[in-house]
Amino acid sequence: MSNRPNVLLLFSDEHRHDAMGCAGHERVKTPHLDALAENGTRFTQAFTPSPICVPARAALATGQYVHQNRCWSNAEAYSGDPISWGHHLIEQGHRVDSIGKLHYRGGETHNGFEEEILPLYIRNGVGWIKGLLRDHEAFFDVSSYVREIGPGSDRYTDYDLGVTRAARQWLSDAGQAAPEKPWVLFVSWLRPHYPLTCPPEYYDLYPLDKMDSARFVSDAELPSHPVTRTIRRNFNYDDAFDEAGRQIARASYYGLCSFLDAQIGAVLDTLDQSGQADNTLVIYTSDHGDHNGDRRMWTKMSLYDESARIPMMMR
């Protein structure tokens, strides 16, 4: 690898740290991430700066904690100030592009990428976290979302397939072009973020009669901190699930992790075919994790390992 290698930064949304074969999970099938870990370095104690999408991404961009960059919630997204790692690398002569979900402010802001392909921005975001901590608690009912579980297709999966196609085309084009300067490509997928609607071929990898069960679900084990109870009360997926629904949701989450793994494998295969793999640093991580039913909680937002601890590896 040269002194100025390319960098391929692969990024997902809501992938918990242990939902990979290489992390010791007995059921989740992630052969491409397992291979990446085997041929590189896997960090076993990686934690998100914030277990919420937008603040985590702002922290990644700036290298600052949330209390420094002031992006507290999903209403307050990164808008190019303070400058990001992308700005610095462009100044140092790298080509820096992004493909996929950003969760930054869009429009006229310069977010540190020369080209943003298929970007998803924050527009008119809702500050749920601040709302939950007001003196008079707001109530946010998510129980209607429990219908969006199990095998099927949806726009999030379609979007991710488009991100994969665009990334493969970008890498193929870069491999054929004269290497004028090193490049950095940020590829960002939506999955395994909710809704828990999973392509059937990946959902079928996890038969319900062989599924594991959620942990820490007895009344004695449930979180007792007032803020955690508030989050459970407002993000009340579990209240609307019966036991069968919980297992379908968990299987769907595992299936979406396998779907994500397949997208990563396709991109890495194209990197190999383009002849650039030997001079490219590959990094994989996620913005935060997911409870997936543990403690009768779903999605993220707590500081339990399920939510705050993330996968991270590089080769």
pTM of the shown model: 0.93
At residue 248, the pLDDT reads 97
At residue 268, the pLDDT reads 99
State the 10-residue block means of pLDDT for the chain, 315 residues long. 91 98 98 99 98 94 92 81 94 96 82 94 61 55 80 96 99 85 97 96 98 93 88 84 94 99 99 96 98 94 96 99
At residue 73, the pLDDT reads 77
Phi, psi of 77 (to 5 degrees): -95, 160
At residue 230, the pLDDT reads 83
pLDDT in tens, 108-135: 778 999 999 999 887 765 555 555 555 5
Alpha-helical runs (H) found in 42-96:
53-62, 66-69, 85-91
In order of start, what are the domains of the chain with their CATH numbers? 6-314 (3.40.720.10)
Q: Which two tokens stand for residue 96?
A: 């820096």
Can you tell me the distance from the alpha carbon of 259 to that of 147, in angstroms, rounded to the nearest whole number?
20
Q: Which two tokens stand for residue 309?
A: 């601890």
At residue 23, the pLDDT reads 98
> Which SS3 state, helix, strand or coil, does residue 97 take?
strand
At residue 139, the pLDDT reads 60
Residues near 202 by beta carbon (within 8 Å), at least 6 away in sequence: 255, 256, 258, 259, 262
At residue 173, the pLDDT reads 94
